[in-house]
Amino acid sequence: MKIIDGKLISAAVKERVAKSVEQLKEQGVTVGLAVIIVGEDPASKVYVKNKKKACEALGIISEEYALPENTTQKELLDLIHELNNKKSINGILCQLPLPHHLDEKIIINSISPQKDVDAFHPYNVGRIMIGDYDFVPCTPAGIMEMLAYENIEVEGKRCVVIGRSNIVGKPMGMLLLHKNGTVTVCHSKTKDLKDICLQADILVAAVGRPKFVTQDMVREGAVVIDVGIHRTPNGLCGDVDFENVSKKVSVITPVPGGVGPMTIAMLMQNTLTAAKRQNNIDG
107 Cα distance to chain centroid = 19
Q: Which of 14, 114, 118, 211 is catalytic?
A: 118
**With contact defined as beta carbons under 8 Å apart, do 10 and 265 qualify?**
yes
How far apart CA 171 and CA 133 sit, in angstroms, is: 12
What is the tally of helices (H) and strands (E) in the chain? 10, 11
Q: Which of 95, 116, 157, 170 is catalytic?
A: 95
One-letter amino acid at 176 equals L
**With contact defined as beta carbons under 8 Å apart, do 215 and 241 qualify?**
yes
Ramachandran bin of 105, using left for φ above 0, alpha for ψ from -120 to 50, beta for the remaining angles? alpha
Q: Is 27 a catalytic residue?
A: no
One-letter amino acid at 211 equals K
All residues at 6 or more sequence positions from 95 whose CB lies less than 8 Å from its CB, including other chains: 35, 36, 37, 38, 41, 44, 47, 48
How far apart CA 173 and CA 15 sit, in angstroms, is: 28
How far apart CA 58 and CA 21 sit, in angstroms, is: 7
Q: Is 191 a catalytic residue?
A: no
Q: Is 51 a catalytic residue?
A: yes
Residues labelled catalytic: 51, 95, 118
